[in-house]
Amino acid sequence: MRVHVDMTLCQTHAQCVYAAPDVFGLDADDVLTYDAAPDDALTGDIELAARACPVQAIAVRHD
């Protein structure tokens, strides 16, 4: 699985951080960080995070 966040769209609402905290986070400057190649066991949380994003900045690709 691959995760990509379009940082030009991201407005740091952080809904993804709440939905999938093992994949998404905020750094000390409140900039979104994420694991681009997370474990497949987190698929449900990641898909929830993508749906929760108010600007639809998260893309999930299942390889």
Q: What is the pLDDT of residues 27-45, one digit of tens each?
A: 999 999 999 999 999 999 9
Instruction: Count the neighbouring beta carbons within 10 Å of the beta carbon of residue 24.
Output: 24
SS3 17: helix
Q: What CATH architecture is 2-61?
A: 2-Layer Sandwich (3.30)
Percent of the chain topping pLDDT 70: 100
Map tokens 């929760």 to a residue: 52
52 and 16 in contact (C-beta within 8 Å)? Answer: yes
Residue 48, pLDDT > 90, answer: yes
Residue 1 has what pLDDT?
A: 95
pLDDT mean across residues, the chain:
97
Confidence of residue 56 (pLDDT cuts 50, 70, 90): very high
* 63 pLDDT above the threshold of 90: no
